[in-house]
Structures are given as C-alpha cells and as structure tokens.
Amino acid sequence: MFKAILINKDEKGYRADLAELDETDLPAGEVLVKVLYSTLNYKDGLAITGKGPVVRAFPMVPGIDFAGEVLDSSSPDYQPGDQVILNGWGVGEGYWGGLAQKARVKAEWLIPLPKGLTPKQTLAIGTAGYTAMLCVMALQQHGLQPSAGEVLVTGAAGGVGSFATMLMSKLGFTVVASSGRPEESAYLHQLGASEVIERASLSTPGKPLAKERWAAVIDSVGSHTLANACAAVKSNGAVAACGLAQGMDFPTTVAPFILRGITLYGINSVTVDKAKRISAWEQLSQLCDFTIVNAIAHEISLAEAIPLAADLIAGKIRGRLIVDVNR
C-alpha cells in the first residue's frame, strides 16, 4: 500500500483526498517508480481544487512532475535503482501523476536524473524551472543578447517567473519583473531583477502599440498582460509565452507583428522531445544557484498539498512548493 492524493468526481461531487492505494491500482506502464519528490504547480492546483477542466479521467492522481527511483522496469532503458525524473506528458491530467508515493509510467516519458543534481534539487527546479528554461532557450534561439536591452518577466513572483528572472539575470540580461505583490520586491531583487513594476500597469486593456521598451518578454500570465507586453516589444524582439494565469484570451492586434516584426514563441513543456528535455536540464544544472533556488522553493508534505492548492490558484504562494510525498 502507498499514499496518494486521489481526485474523484461522482454523485458526491468533486473532491481531492489523501488515499491509501495498492500497486494493482496503478495504470499500465513499463516502469514502476518509487516517487521521492513531486511539486505543486498551477495546473495541479487547478486539478485539486476543480477550478479548471484539467482532469480528463476519474479517479485521478494529480502531479505533473516527479523525481524518484526505479523499482521495476520492463524497458531496457531503465533498471531498478536508476534515478529518474518526469515532466509533463499528461500525467496528473489523463494519466496518474506524481503526487503519490509510487507511479507507473511509460519509459519514453522519463529521463535520467540530471548529473550533479539530487532528486530534491531537481524538483526544487521542477516543471516551473524547466518551463522557464524552455522560454530562455527560445529567446537564445532568437539570437537575443544582453546588449539588446531590458527583458520583461511577468508573473515574476510565481514559479515560472521566479526561475525566468533568476536565469535571465544569471545570463547577464537586465530583467524587469512584473508582479501584483509589491511585498515581494526584495525577493525579486534577490533573484536578479533590476526593477520591479506593478502588475496593474500591464493587466488592463491597452493600445495595440505602445512605446518600444522590451527587447524580449517571458510571460506566464496571458490575456491583457501578454497583449500589452507585445505592444511594447522593440522591433524584431521576441516574446516567449507559457502560461495563462490571467486568462486564455489574447486581446491584441497584428500591429506589433507586422509593423515591428516581433516574434511570439509558444512554449509547450508537456510533449517536448527527449533530446531537448535533456538539453534544458543540462543548462539548468549549470545555471541554477541553489542559494537562490532554496529561496524560491519551499518543502511541504503530501497532505499539505491539498489545502495549499487553493492558495496557489489565488496567487498567494511565492515561488515553488516541493512535495515530499513520503512525509
């Protein structure tokens, strides 16, 4: 038997509970993993609270990522004792995920634990840090250099935003952090932000074009925030969009794209090919300063993930929540 968060939807309603499960309850897959750490991400918060249509089958174990040790494998790629991580692939949505003490998954969804990182360090970075790294890689591919000017990071006090701020600063860029929590200004400066601006300056309807300011943007917010960010990007600049905390809508025009030639990169962290995943994690292992990461990430127990999911959706959580599933 093992513990897991289990989401059900039936005549009793929608609910998430801490449950005792058996290995026979687990879905099919080539690799059985003893989960050591998972995290509580925005998508997990939506799943646990039922605030968004994330869960596609019931019952469901949430948790879009995990790090652990292989217990059993029918795949030649993994042997018992191997340490592995998983991000995305629909786990926690259509397939049982990592907020449990055991998981059984497809071998192709796993990658080896990055060299130089422990399971806990890897999940301190987690899907949020990995997604931020994919955003950074898109801007690097675009050819962005620190000399181009300021980079805007929206939702900067959240998980993705915190890592985006740290990573871009570490790479020598001048980062301007946007947040609706002015009390987090000291924290954002600690991550490397040169300036912190109020979220309200971006989150309401704006003009199709604004004064050019940003060389690039990493956005995890969407809606008016993304539209206003695009409107102020410099000619031939770029935006990496990876989230929808404000909304799925994108109320803008083609003006920034056809008059300034900006590029919008959509960042999907769920189904990235293995080689790119490994490359992202290699860069994370080199760039992450764990004196800073430890300020971003906070550890909680499996049971605590359920009540804290509502706080996460409400924007009350700073940085990352690591879940030690074995306490």
pLDDT of residue 66: 97
Q: Does 271 fall in a domain? A: no
Q: What percent of the chain has pLDDT over 70?
A: 100
Give a yes or no: residue 272 inside a domain. Answer: no
* Residue of 246, 192, 242, 239 lying closest to 217 (CA atoms): 239
pLDDT value of position 173: 98
Final residue of a structural domain among 266, 283, 308: 266
Q: Which string of DSSP letters, residue by residue, matches 47-87?
A: HHHTSSS---SSSB---SEEEEEEEEESSTT--TT-EEEEE
* pLDDT at residue 59 is higher than 90: yes
Mean pLDDT of 80-109: 97
Per-chain mean pLDDT for the chain: 96
Please indicate, yes or no, if residue 275 is contained in any of the structural domains: no
Q: In one letter, which amino acid is 212?
A: E
At residue 64, the pLDDT reads 95
Does residue 28 fall inside a structural domain?
yes
- Do 237 and 319 lie in one domain? The reply is no
DSSP-derived pairing of the beta strands 263-266 and 233-241: parallel
Q: What pLDDT score was predicted for residue 44? A: 96
Q: What is the pLDDT of residue 202?
A: 97
In a domain, 277, yes or no: no
pLDDT-based confidence at residue 228 (cuts at 50, 70, 90): very high
Average confidence (pLDDT) over 242-264: 96
Cis check: omega of the bond before 208, within 30 degrees of 0 = no
Q: Is 141 buried (19+), middle (13-18) or exposed (0-12) by CB count in 10 A? A: exposed
Mind listing the pLDDT tens digit for each residue in 115-172? 999 999 999 999 999 999 999 999 999 999 999 999 999 999 988 999 999 999 999 9
What pLDDT shows up at residue 153?
98
CATH number of domain containing 197: 3.40.50.720
What pLDDT does residue 106 have? 97
Are 318 and 184 in contact by the 8 Å Cβ rule? The answer is: yes
Of residues 181 and 101, which shows the higher confidence score?
101
Model pLDDT, residue 147? 98
pLDDT attached to residue 211: 97
Domain ranges, residue 299: 2-113+293-324
Tell me which residue has tokens 């060299």: 115
Same-domain pairing of 38 and 84: yes
What local confidence, expressed as pLDDT, does residue 294 receive? 86
- Cβ burial, residue 72 (10 Å; 0-12/13-18/19+): middle
pLDDT of residue 160: 94
Contact present, 251 and 205 (Cβ < 8 Å):
yes
pLDDT band at 310 (very low <50, low <70, confident <90, very high): very high
**Does residue 237 share a domain with residue 158?**
yes
138 contacts 267 by C-beta, under 8 angstroms: yes
235 inside domain = yes
Which amino acid is located at 126 in the chain? G
Domain identity same for 134 and 252 = yes
| pLDDT tens-digit series, residues 22-32 | 999 999 999 99
Side-chain half-sphere CA neighbours of 4 within 13 A: 28
**Residues 149 and 257 placed together within one structural domain of the fold:** yes
Query: Are residue 235 and residue 132 in the same domain, yes or no?
Result: yes
Asked if the structure places residue 6 within a domain, the reply is yes
**CA–CA dist 73, 107 (Å, integer):** 8
**Is residue 179 domain-shared with residue 308, that is, in the same domain?**
no
244 and 163 fall within a common domain: yes
Residues 45, 133, single domain; the answer is no
pLDDT > 90? residue 102? yes
Cα distance between residue 42 and residue 274, in whole Å: 23
CATH of the domain at 48: 3.90.180.10
Render pLDDT for 31-49 as a digit per residue (tens, 0 to 9).
999 999 999 999 999 999 9
CA dihedral 204, 207, 211, 212 (to 10 degrees): 90
Overall number of domains in the chain: 2
Q: Which pLDDT band holds residue 272 (cuts at 50, 70, 90)?
A: very high
Whole-number pLDDT of residue 57:
94
